[in-house]
Structure 1
Amino acid sequence: MRKLIWIWSSMTLLFLCSCASPSDSSETSIRIAAAASLKDVMEELTPLFEEQYNIEIETIYGGSGKLARQIEQGAPVDVFLSADLRWIELLKEQNLVEKDTYIEYATNRIVLIGDDSTRRLDTIQELNLKENEQLAVGNPESVPAGTYTKQALERIQLWSRLEDQIVFGSDVRQVLAYVESGQVDYGFVYASDAMISDKVITLTKVDHNLHDSIVYPGIVISKSRSKEQGQKFLTFLTSDRATEIYNAYGFNPMRGGKIEQ
Structure 2
Amino acid sequence: MRLSLLVTTIACLIVGSPLQAAEVQVAVAANFTAPMQDIAAAFEQDTGHRVVAAFGSTGQLYAQISHGAPFEVFLAADASTPARIEQEGLGVAGSRFTYATGALALWSTDANLIHDGESLLRSGAFRHLAIANPKTAPYGLAATQVMQRLGLSDTLKPKLVEGQSIGQTYQFVASGNAELGFVALSQISRHGQITSGSTWPVPAALYEPIRQDAVLLTKGADNPAATALLAYLKSERATAVISSYGYGH
TM-score if structure 2 supplies the norm length?
0.84
Residue correspondence of structure 1 range 112-123 to structure 2 within 5 A: 112-123=106-117
Q: Distance in 2 between matches of 1:91 and 1:31?
A: 16
In structure 2, relative to structure 1, the CA distance for the partners of 1:160 and 1:26 (3 Å cut) is farther
Which ranges of structure 2 fall in alignment gaps of 5 or more residues? 1-18
For the Cα contact (< 8 Å) 1:124–1:205, is it kept in 2?
A: no
Match of 2:15 in 1: none
For the Cα contact (< 8 Å) 2:131–2:182, is it kept in 1?
A: yes
Larger Rg: 2
Match of 1:191 in 2: 185
The structural deviation recorded for 1:247 is 2.1
Of 15, 22, 31, which aligns to 1:28? Answer: 22
Look up the equivalent residue of 2:59 and give its one-letter code: G
Match of 1:73 in 2: 67
- Percentage identity across paired residues of the two chains: 26
Report the 3-state secondary structure (helix = DSSP H, G, I; strand = E; otherwise coil) of the residue aligned with 1:32: strand
Of 202, 208, 212, which aligns to 1:206? Answer: 202
Residue correspondence of structure 1 range 51-200 to structure 2 within 5 A: 51-124=45-118, 126-127=120-121, 128-130=123-125, 133-195=127-189, 198-200=195-197
In structure 2, relative to structure 1, the CA distance for the partners of 1:81 and 1:160 (3 Å cut) is same
Worse-matched range after superposition: 236-245 or 116-125: 116-125
In structure 2, relative to structure 1, the CA distance for the partners of 1:216 and 1:231 (3 Å cut) is same
In structure 2, relative to structure 1, the CA distance for the partners of 1:125 and 1:141 (3 Å cut) is farther
Match of 1:218 in 2: 214
Q: Distance in 1 between matches of 2:119 and 2:62?
A: 33
Q: Distance in 2 between matches of 1:26 and 1:61?
A: 27
Residue 246 in 1 paired to residue 242 in 2? yes
The structural deviation recorded for 1:52 is 2.1
Match of 1:233 in 2: 229
Match of 2:35 in 1: 41
Q: Distance in 2 between matches of 1:26 and 1:221?
A: 21
Report the 3-state secondary structure (helix = DSSP H, G, I; strand = E; otherwise coil) of the residue aligned with 1:232: helix
TM-score if structure 1 supplies the norm length?
0.80
Q: Provide the aligned length of Structure 1 versus Structure 2.
A: 227
Cα distance per residue 1:66-112 (max 9 Å; x no partner): 00110011100000000111221221231111121111121121010
The structural deviation recorded for 1:161 is 1.3
Q: Distance in 1 between matches of 2:111 and 2:37?
A: 31
Q: Of Structure 1 and Structure 2, which has the larger fraction of its residues in helix?
A: 2
Match of 2:5 in 1: none
Look up the equivalent residue of 2:88 and give its one-letter code: Q
Report the 3-state secondary structure (helix = DSSP H, G, I; strand = E; otherwise coil) of the residue aligned with 2:158: helix
Q: Distance in 1 between matches of 2:232 and 2:94?
A: 16
